[in-house]
A and B are shown apart, each in its own frame.
Chain A
Amino acid sequence: MTALKNSMQKFLYYPSAVFGSFVVLLLVLLAVYAMMKIPYREAIRLWRGGEEAWYQNPKFAAPAWINYFSSTKYAESFSVNTRDGSLPGEFTPGPEGTGALLASYAFDFKYDTYPQDMILYFTSRYAEKQPFISLEWLTPDGRTVRIANMAVGKEFTYRFAQDEKLKTRLKTDDSIASLFSDPETGSLIKGQYQLLITGTTFEPDSRVDAEFVFHGQVYGLAGTDHARRDLMLPLLWGAPVALAFGLIASLGSSVLTMIIAALGTWYSGWIDELIQRITEVNLVLPFLSILIMIGTFYSRSLWVILGATIALSIFTGAIKGFRSIFLQVKESMYIEAARAYGASGIRIVFFYLIPRMIPLLIPGLVSSVPAFVFLEASLAVLGLGDPVLPTWGKIIQDANMNGALYRGYYYWILEPTVLLMITGLGFAMLGFALDRIFNPKLRDA
């Protein structure tokens, strides 16, 4: 108990240890939060779901908070729906089974950039006669622009930017820019815009609902990628995946290494010899190439790669380090005492030799976590990331493949790299400090 208290005091003496454990704690909390907030199935649906899960988001949108730091204010995204009332609309039944929908949405546009696109999604219910919709656009300077008149089917999508008729009517190639600017000067007008949707239905049971999706230039807390996916999801879910991979790999490989080294030294003879030979063969094998080969030829599942990583990391130089220390410990008096009272070999290995090594094991274990976390990211960057799971490495790879650095989508690459960097540094600092606490020989004066 006093030893523990003593270690704690030493621990507090190292700022890097305190900082490192703080980072690790934060990461664990982030991981738990991510898993509670977005359950696994939901996360996979949002990551791999297809257009249906992402249609509300703009493409390549930076996070919304850059508006606080930038002098140009980028248009923010939103979406409103008549079904939940966020797009205020009223349906009034008319004569002879007809009905009229009047919905309007007014919003303040106070940005310096045009939005990427505006889209209306209609869903309607009818037997034979399709409902009819007309759209109007009210600008802050008092103009009313007729947008379109159309009959809408059961599922109908109207994209403002792709309507050729609208382009001809506005005499422009870019209807979105034209809708937000002064027709005389062509400059952007800030103020309150209003979208008017008037609809008519021709059957008693007929109904129509509209969803207005406004694709701005910025989105949410993390921004979006090339597939309109919200980056918040992989950023959040990357934490549990990275922690699981890093911790399991380092724990698995170092504990197994230690056990095998202990067994080898205790039983010596051919077992020891075999372990030594396997270690030498393993040193000849190119670690990364083999992992890349497994990824390309066999399976990209994170768990297969994890297994291969552990298997390849057992018989490394570390086994020789453990062996040399076990050889010393083997000659200690307490081992001899254990042998004298008749303890079995297995008992000595697991209850006498291995516990002795735990203080040496822990710093190495913590320090090797970043290597494994970055290994996962490295494989993902090479295009061998897990195809299902959202991870930090996958974001970097997507960003790299889409030329994020050339095209100026810096947020896309910075968010995952900063998180990875913090994770790596946190574990490394903690490991370094633990090393100096547990192995006082290395402690600097």
Chain B
Amino acid sequence: MAVITQPTTESLVSKQSTRYGSLLRILRYSITRLLTLFVTVIVGIYLTIVIANMGGYVDEIMRGEIRDRVTQAIINSAAGQAMDLEVRQQLIKDKIASEEKRMGLDVPIAVRNARYLANALTLNLGRAINMTSDSGSKQVRLILLERLPATLLLMGISQLFLFFSSILLALSLSRRYGNFWDKLVVALSPTSAVPPWFYGIFLILIFAALLKVLPFGGMVDSPPPSNPFDYSLSLLKHLILPTLSLVLSSFFLSIYNYRTFFLIYSSEDYVDMAKAKGLPSRDVERKYILRPTLPNIITNFALLIITLWTGATITETVFLWPGLGRALFQAIGLYDIPIIVGSTIIYAYLLAMTVFLLDFIYSLVDPRVKVGG
């Protein structure tokens, strides 16, 4: 793969040209990769929009709702009651038409989908149909931003803890595999077949319903304490159960996977060689086991960052945690397409960006990988 050059005068020229060539290669590769990823994102978002619209079914719901609302408003108003019947009918019709135009329901569905797509790709997330943020705004961007801290807090704490603790524990287990703790982790790894919200129900049952030491759900006590210290204490109390259930449901499998992974790499000849040289085990671990596994660890970390964004829909719903995942669930219940599409767009963009960046990071940490090679 790598071009071996002799340090001679004529090779200097060729070295320069290879450097030039590799730059060109990287550039060409980056552009094609970016283009394919962009097309992927477009197709993915378009599919989401089409599914979210369900061939116009949602439009019917919205039309019916507009008709109801407008008719009710006019019939119930004093001016409307005083009006002549025909004039009133005409007024209702006009109002419905203008309302539908405001919602963009007057154009064919294909055009509307295309419009949605164009807006989505430019990150112009638009306005929600039914949901509002706590501050009263209907901007999708504001609604999502308002929910973001809650999700980042919950997912950040649980996922980062999970990531680092499982790598550290896996390393120590792989050092002396076959002992009691190792066998215990192997035996417990099937517990990860159970999703986090399931552990959530058990934890609520034990700690909230039976022992009454921790709250059932929510993010802070109500009313929220005004004193910042009490506030964070209450937040912490509400964080324990959801975090624990998220950690618990992947803990053992995660350790098991990393451990197996480290074991495979620690049986390589060069590791034996390093041990034979008498290097301290810390050095062996850092330079000979962790280093070659770095690309995979980085991939996992990158995927972890993406999950921070998406939140955990069902766990958040079970714990009434006001995060993005629960917002998505609420949006679906209210047929709020802009929010559904908005969160999909962000997810798709983040994923594509991560995939793109990973290619380069791989080549940085692993000399065996060549970008575009």
Q: Chain A residues in contact with chain B, CB under 8 A?
A: 16, 277, 280-286, 288-290, 292-294, 296-298, 367, 370-371, 374, 377-378, 381-383, 396, 400, 405-406, 408, 410, 413-414, 417, 420-421, 424-425, 427-429, 431-432, 441-442, 444-445
Contact = CB atoms under 8 A, between A and B. Distances in A.
A297 B57 contact: yes
Contact of A293 (B189, B197, B264, B332): B332
A410 B209 contact: yes
B202 A417 contact: yes
20 contacts: A283-B351, A284-B41, A285-B344, A286-B310, A292-B332, A293-B340, A296-B333, A297-B58, A298-B57, A371-B193, A374-B198, A378-B197, A405-B216, A406-B216, A413-B205, A417-B198, A417-B202, A420-B194, A425-B193, A444-B178
B372 to A, nearest CB: 17
Contacts of A289: 48, 313, 328, 332, 340, 343-344
Main secondary structure of the interface of A (DSSP, over half): helix
Given A294-B51, A408-B209, A424 B194 contact: yes
Contacts of B352: 284
B40 interface: yes
Given A286-B347, A293-B340, A405-B208, A420 B198 contact: yes
Given A289-B344, A406-B216, A429-B190, A297 B54 contact: yes
B198 A432 contact: no
A428 B187 contact: no
Nearest to B182: A444
A288 B178 CA distance: 38
Given A294-B51, A382-B314, A425 B332 contact: no
Nearest to B195: A374
A91 to B, nearest CB: 52
B44 interface: yes
B204 interface: yes
A377 B197 CA distance: 11
Contacts of A424: 193-194
Nearest to B186: A444
A284 B40 contact: yes
Contacts of A292: 313, 328-329, 332
A10 to B, nearest CB: 16
A411 to B, nearest CB: 11
B51 A293 contact: yes
B335 interface: yes
Contacts of A277: 36, 40
B184 interface: no
Given A289-B332, A296-B333, A405-B201, 9 more contacts: A281-B47, A286-B48, A289-B48, A290-B48, A292-B328, A296-B332, A381-B197, A382-B329, A432-B190
B43 interface: yes
A374 B199 CA distance: 12
A161 B314 CA distance: 41
Nearest to A408: B209
B22 interface: no
A428 B193 contact: yes
Contacts of B317: 381-382
B332 to A, nearest CB: 5
Contacts of A405: 201, 204-205, 208-209, 216
B52 interface: yes
B345 to A, nearest CB: 10
Contacts of B163: none
B35 to A, nearest CB: 12
Interface string B51-68: 110100110000000000
Q: Is the interface of B mostly helix, strand, loop or mixed?
A: helix
B300 interface: no
A284 B351 contact: yes
Contacts of A431: 190
Contacts of B234: none
Given A288-B313, A414-B205, A444-B178, A378 B195 contact: yes
A223 to B, nearest CB: 16
Interface in B1-59: 36-37, 40-41, 43-45, 47-48, 51-52, 54, 57-58
A383 B54 CA distance: 19
Interface string B328-356: 11001101000010011001100110000
B198 A421 contact: yes
Contacts of B314: 288, 378, 381-382
Interface string B194-220: 110110011011001110000010000
Contact of B189 (A294, A298, A432): A432
Contacts of B187: 16
Interface in B259-287: 260, 263-264
B290 interface: no
B205 A425 contact: no
Contacts of B333: 296, 383
Closest A-B pairs by Cβ, 7 of them: A284-B44, A428-B190, A428-B193, A370-B193, A297-B54, A284-B348, A424-B193
A77 B115 CA distance: 62
Contacts of A282: 44
A307 B2 CA distance: 48
B181 to A, nearest CB: 13
Contacts of B40: 277, 280-281, 284
B191 interface: yes
Given A284-B347, A428-B193, A444-B186, A413 B201 contact: yes
A296 B52 CA distance: 10
Nearest to A403: B216
B194 A425 contact: yes
A445 B194 contact: no
A425 B187 CA distance: 11
Contacts of B208: 405
A442 B209 CA distance: 42
Contact of A285 (B47, B192, B195, B332): B47
A406 B210 CA distance: 10
B318 interface: yes
A281 B45 CA distance: 9
A432 B260 CA distance: 13
Interface string B283-323: 00000000000000000000000000010011001100000
B193 A427 contact: yes
B178 A445 contact: yes
A286 B351 CA distance: 11
B177 interface: yes
A280 B198 CA distance: 30
B343 A285 contact: no
Nearest to B40: A280
Contacts of B198: 374, 377, 417, 420-421
Nearest to B261: A442
A292 B51 CA distance: 11
Contacts of B177: 444-445
A432 to B, nearest CB: 6
B209 A381 contact: no
A431 B351 CA distance: 30
A281 B44 contact: yes
A288 B37 CA distance: 22
B75 to A, nearest CB: 30
A290 B54 CA distance: 11
